[in-house]
């Protein structure tokens, strides 16, 4: 067998590592654009079971500004589904599995650069839509391949949005203004989290494999499918690197951990990647350039959490991870253990455990001072100060909040 493809893959991986090293030493990432006086920074909170997105202040008291209906076409979509037996089977399957008995109407969302629209992935409707924030009407709709849409990512310049189509093992990349497909690529089984590199050159996708079966015993791990990280060129959408965390975790001596990579967070210099994996109450540190796992942190268990892994939502014991802008702290959502905590990145020592009801996501506030988690079990978001690890605000939102994203609306927007 020819070794040329493997040699090219090694050279490409080396180029990526070298580029990240240069990024770290030169600080050559473009500075954020100056604030546009015509825009207002906000946070969008996706209320998955309700089909709405709450718009809240991105800092301070995180007060709610308004609410967007992201399923204004619900009747039309349900009519299509109920007239198609195959679509109906998947629709009902999503309700009973990932939806925990509920329809999933909003997974992820990003605003357009001009703040006039929010782009939303809607799992149960297997699509992505752009909602006009002034009128509430749909600008465009993109049906994904397969039967379910999932996590998204927006490019650093805000012009492209990537969405995982989990049942077709595909990631679509769309023009955020028009909804036109710019490209796509195949990932592993059940592509999940997407992350663009800071310079926009690469797109990382994490495949989590099958998470909707009860085959959760460690010895049945082989039934979960092909779980790997795909790194693609964000211009050509060609894969330039594949990272199998099974090999890296085994080399580190943690054969007991799943290799299904869940939420992730890069350091500001992109030298290290932190991530959560299925069934694990903790996080993993991965050195990107050295291509190896360097540390694993186990976080406390809640003694009231059942150890029956089939009771954990979609195989995720902990699901939600963000990093402070200075790279000094990580914020962890301990989903099934009902807490969130801030972890010192140097020592990996956790701070106070902040009680939270099924926290499902963690992001960074607009001013970078706080971690904001979604408490899906209590229908609220909660802000935790990165420097003290203490709760600073808690605000009620809609039914089953999951993803929280910083974005923009026009300065005079109210709804």
Q: Tens digit of pLDDT for each residue in 325-335?
A: 999 999 999 99
Report the candidate in 73, 68, 42 with the shortest Cα–Cα distance to residue 53.
68
**What whole-number distance in Å separates Cα of residue 362 and Cα of residue 364?**
7
Mean pLDDT of the chain, nearest integer: 91
Among candidate residues 283, 239, 292, the one with its CA nearest the CA of residue 257 = 283
pLDDT over 90 (residue 367): yes
**Residue 17 pLDDT greater than 50, yes or no:** no
Euclidean distance between CA atoms 21 and 12, whole angstroms: 14
pLDDT at 205 over 90: yes
- pLDDT band of residue 211 (cuts 50, 70, 90) is confident
The confidence band for 24, taking pLDDT boundaries of 50, 70 and 90, is very low
CB of 299 closer than 8 Å to CB of 283: yes
As a whole number of angstroms, the distance between CA 140 and CA 129 comes to 6
Closest CA to 299 of 319, 325, 324: 319
Contact predicate 119/109, CB 8 Å: yes
Query: What is the residue-wise DSSP string for 309-327?
Result: GGGSGGG-SS--EEE-TTS
The pair phi, psi for residue 110, each rounded to 5°, is -140, 145
Question: What pLDDT shows up at residue 174?
Answer: 98
Residue 20 has pLDDT above 80, yes or no: no
Backbone angles phi, psi at 320, to 5 degrees: 145, 120
Q: So what's the pLDDT on residue 308?
A: 94
pLDDT at 72 over 90: yes
The whole-number average pLDDT for the span 226-242 is 96
- Are 318 and 281 contacting, i.e. CB atoms less than 8 angstroms apart? yes
Stretch among 189-198, 217-226, 233-242 having the lowest mean pLDDT = 217-226
Mean pLDDT of 383-405: 97
The pLDDT value recorded for residue 25 is 31
Evaluate if residue 11 carries a pLDDT over 90.
no
Q: Is the model's pLDDT at 264 over the cut of 60?
A: yes
Residue 404, judged by CB atoms within 10 A of its CB (0-12, 13-18, 19+), counts as: buried
For the chain, counts of helices (H) and of strands (E): 4, 28
**pLDDT above 60: residue 177:** yes
Residue 103 DSSP code: -
Let me know: does 93 contact 103? Beta carbons within 8 Å: no
Separation between Cα atoms, residue 195 and residue 276, nearest integer Å = 14
Q: Look at residue 18 and give its three-state secondary structure.
A: helix
Q: What distance lies between CA 363 and its chain's CA centroid? A: 10
Residue closest to 110 by CA, chosen among 31, 163, 167: 163
Query: pTM here?
Result: 0.90
207 near 169, Cβ under 8 Å?
yes
Residue 35 has what pLDDT?
66
pLDDT exceeds 50 at position 23: no
Distance in angstroms (rounded) separating the CA atoms of residues 407 and 415: 16
Domains of the chain: 39-410 (2.130.10.10)
| Strand-pair partners of 321 | 332
Mean pLDDT of 160-164: 98
Instruction: Choose among 326, 340, 221, 330: nearest CA to 285.
Output: 330
Distance, in Å, from the CA atom of 91 to the CA atom of 124, rounded to the nearest integer, reads 6
What's the CA angle centered on 242, arms 11 and 195, to 5 degrees?
Answer: 105
pLDDT tens digits, 272-321: 999 999 999 999 999 999 999 999 999 999 999 999 999 998 889 999 99
């Amino acid at each position: 067998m020819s070794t040329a493809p493997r040699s090219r893959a090694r050279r490409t991986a080396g180029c990526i590592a070298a580029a990240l090293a240069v990024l770290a030493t030169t600080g050559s990432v473009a500075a954020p654009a100056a604030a546009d006086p015509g825009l207002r920074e906000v946070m969008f909170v996706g209320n998955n079971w309700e089909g709405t997105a709450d718009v809240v202040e991105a800092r301070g008291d995180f007060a709610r500004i308004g609410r967007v209906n992201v399923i204004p076409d619900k009747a039309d979509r349900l009519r299509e589904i109920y007239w198609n037996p195959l679509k109906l089977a998947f629709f009902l399957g999503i309700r009973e599995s990932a939806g925990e008995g509920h329809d999933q109407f909003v997974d992820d969302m990003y605003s357009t650069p001009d703040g006039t629209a929010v782009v939303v992935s809607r799992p149960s409707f297997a699509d992505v839509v752009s909602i006009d924030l002034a009128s509430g009407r749909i600008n465009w709709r993109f049906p994904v391949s397969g039967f379910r849409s999932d996590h998204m990512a927006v490019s650093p310049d805000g012009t492209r949005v990537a969405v995982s189509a989990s049942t077709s093992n595909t990631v679509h990349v769309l023009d955020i203004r028009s909804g036109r497909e710019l490209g796509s690529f195949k990932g592993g089984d059940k592509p999940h989290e997407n992350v663009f590199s800071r310079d926009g050159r690469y797109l990382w996708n994490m495949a989590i494999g099958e998470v909707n079966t009860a085959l959760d015993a460690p010895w049945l791990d082989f039934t979960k499918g092909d779980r790997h990280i795909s790194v693609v060129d964000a211009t050509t959408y060609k894969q330039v690197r594949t990272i199998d965390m099974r090999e890296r975790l085994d080399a580190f001596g943690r054969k007991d951990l799943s290799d299904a990579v869940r939420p992730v967070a890069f350091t500001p210099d992109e030298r290290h990647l932190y991530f959560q994996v299925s069934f694990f109450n903790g996080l993993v540190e991965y050195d990107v350039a050295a291509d190896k796992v360097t540390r694993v942190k186990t976080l406390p268990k809640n003694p009231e959490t059942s150890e029956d892994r089939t009771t954990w939502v979609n195989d995720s014991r902990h699901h939600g991870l963000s990093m402070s802008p200075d790279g000094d702290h990580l914020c962890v959502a301990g989903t099934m253990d009902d807490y969130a905590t801030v972890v010192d990145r140097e020592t990996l020592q956790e701070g106070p455990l902040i009680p939270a009801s099924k926290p499902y996501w963690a992001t960074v506030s607009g001013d970078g001072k706080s971690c904001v988690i979604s408490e899906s079990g209590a229908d609220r978001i909660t802000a935790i100060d990165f420097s003290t690890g203490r709760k600073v605000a808690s605000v009620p939102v809609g039914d089953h909040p999951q993803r929280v994203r910083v974005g923009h609306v026009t300065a005079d927007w109210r709804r």
